[in-house]
Amino acid sequence: MSDSAPRDFIRDIIHDDLESGKHTRIVTRFPPEPNGYLHMGHAMSICLNFGVAAETGGRTYLRYDDTNPGKEDQEYVDAIERDVRWLGFDWETRLTHASDYFAALYDAATRLIEIGAAYVDSLSADEIREYRGTLTEPGRDSPYRERSVEENLELFRGMREGEFEDGQHVLRAKIDMASPNMNLRDPTLYRIRHLAHQQTGNDWCIYPMYDFAHTLSDAFEGITHSLCTLEFEDHRPLYNWLLDKLEPPHRPRQIEFSRLNVAYTITSKRKLKALIDDGVVSGWDDPRMPTIAGMRRRGYPPAALRDFVTRAGVTKKDKLVELGMLENSVREVLGATAPRRMAVLRPLKLVLTNYPEDRTEMMSAMNHPNDPSMGERDVPFGRELWIEQDDFMEDAPRKFFRLKPGGEVRLRSAYIIRCDEVVKDEDGSVVELRCSYDETTKSGSANSDRKVKGTIHWVSAAHAVAAEVRLYDRLFREANPNTHEDLASVLNPASLETVDARLEPSLAGETAAVQFERLGYFVSDQDSTAERPVFNRIVTLRDSWAKLEKQALQAATGG
């Protein structure tokens, strides 16, 4: 990967550990639960975990945290692998599941019982909650807490053998019911669930809890640095307690960092799923979704996403990162690589009255203004053209340098034209512009040095390809929708606008991201058919929100 290596507090720790010889090779893991699609926040975790290992010659596991049978799905498993690969990372042979370790986890739990550090509790779920106490009051010991090792072993074996119903018993760590840290009040390690598991089928009817499975999976895989988000800080004492009791050969270290929160988006699989279930978006890969699948379909290049999370940085402080920062990363990557094309999103007919009816010319247009190596292409030109409705104004202010009655403008890569007549329908709407072209002003020709202030894009009506173009905007109108439980109330009703556009013919069948000149970056959508291409707007050329926000600010301050 060419992205230059960033530095942050986690990388500092890792470099120290390599320098001091504590570790000779860094091993990390990315541990998603396959209960939804990966989102921007996961992208950050992926880039961090795979990144720090790759930068130091280490290795990274992709490990499914699949300890919740029933909530997890093969569709999600497949999507996760596709998304991690697309982001540019490779786990090679290190694809694992927490469920791969069910037998070893069972043995570890048995060992905890043997050393008197775990017991089978037979309180009901409600009672356990009641005994747990509160943040201000200590919990109480379960009456089953002092069962003998033999009785515990026998009951745990019975749990595993399917001798009990769901909820009849649980296995708990024996730590401290009075601990100020609720996670240490004898946390549950195993529960009974008579439910088939997508990996292990009906082999098990007891399943380990996340903290137990996660800590030990880290140890089994020889993870050196177990990087997780801040909400696990309070779980670290349990993580370390388990390692102290079980003394595995490899001792991983948990380090927490703050979640990536991006303005105007949500990063919670549960809430994202609700948007789909409520029909707000078309699916996990709707191009407005902050999922990796959505961003891929939208046309964001993976390099832009990597660049963005690197810029957002790894810290311990909670922060809300501007969405504009991601869009700028996207513009930067596409600005250099996307070829230029012409397309008209809101077509207005323009007729060149002095241009021969049956004539077609090929206009040579550069594919990239700053990169001649990207070559040129021929764009057909004729008597009838489409231009953008916005590029004409009847009562134009003096500084309007596009087309106005009697005014002149250059058609990109073609001629200078003058607007002679405006044709309107009964309602007074402009339906056609009748113009004349100046034959001596063809782009690139010897006498094309006549200058006009404005240049506009166009598409030849006789050659245009009709296409559906989807214009996306942010999904929420609140900067921090995460703080709203009722997401419906903060949706941006204009997050998707569909227009019937006209494209230059070279865009038929184009699959790479392109710039529609003056409009933004676009890419063909999977809904395209041979008859009707569909394009997604990836991002506009400029951050129009930043401009609006600045204008609002200036208006408010009288500036």
- The binding site for ligand ATP (CB under 6 A) comprises 31-33, 41-42, 44-45, 65, 228-229, 259-260, 267-269
Residue 169 β-bridge partners: none
Token pair 């069972």 is at which residue?
106
The SS3 call for residue 26 is coil
Report what 510 binds from ligand ATP, Mg ion, none; CB cut-off 5-8 Å by kind.
Answer: none
Please, are residues 207 and 67 in contact by the beta-carbon 8 Å criterion? Answer: yes
**Residue 33 known to be catalytic:** yes
Query: What are the structure tokens assigned to 16, written together?
Result: 């120290």
| Of 29 and 160, CB closest to ligand ATP | 29
| Of 97 and 341, CB closest to Mg ion | 97
CB of 314 to ligand ATP, least distance (A): 9
Report what 267 binds from ligand ATP, Mg ion, none; CB cut-off 5-8 Å by kind.
Answer: ligand ATP
Candidates 25-33, 127-135, 262-270, 536-544 — which segment interacts with Mg ion by CB under 5 A? Answer: 25-33
92-109 per-residue burial string, b: 16 or more CB within 10 A, e: under 16: eeeebbbbbbbeebbebb
**Residue 150 known to be catalytic:** no
Question: Helix axis angle, 40-55 relative to 302-312, nearest 10°?
Answer: 80
Token pair 């003394």 is at which residue?
247
Identity of residue 265: T
Count other Cβ atoms within 10 Å, centred on residue 555: 9
CB of 373 to ligand ATP, least distance (A): 39
CA distance linking residue 43 with residue 224, whole number of Å:
21
Report what 221 binds from Mg ion, ligand ATP, none; CB cut-off 5-8 Å by kind.
Answer: none
Candidates 19-27, 28-36, 363-371, 424-432 — which segment interacts with Mg ion by CB under 5 A? Answer: 28-36
Candidates 11-19, 32-40, 117-125, 475-483 — which segment interacts with Mg ion by CB under 5 A? Answer: 32-40
Report what 45 binds from Mg ion, ligand ATP, none; CB cut-off 5-8 Å by kind.
Answer: ligand ATP
Report what 185 binds from ligand ATP, Mg ion, none; CB cut-off 5-8 Å by kind.
Answer: none
Count other Cβ atoms within 10 Å, centred on residue 443: 17
Of 221, 193, 235, 194, whose CA–CA distance to 100 is shortest?
221
Pairing state between β 261-262 and 253-257: unpaired
Choosing from 63, 191, 253, 269, which is the catalytic residue?
269
* Residues whose CB falls within 8 Å of the CB of residue 85, separated by 6 or more in sequence, listed in order: none
CB of 481 to Mg ion, least distance (A): 20
CB of 249 to Mg ion, least distance (A): 27
CA distance linking residue 306 with residue 8, whole number of Å:
15
Largest CA distance in the chain: 102
**Residue 269 known to be catalytic:** yes
Number of residues that bind Mg ion (CB under 5 A): 1
| Of 121 and 211, CB closest to Mg ion | 211
CB of 288 to ligand ATP, least distance (A): 17
**Which residues contribute to the site for Mg ion (CB under 5 A)?**
33
Which residues does the annotation mark as catalytic? 33, 259, 269
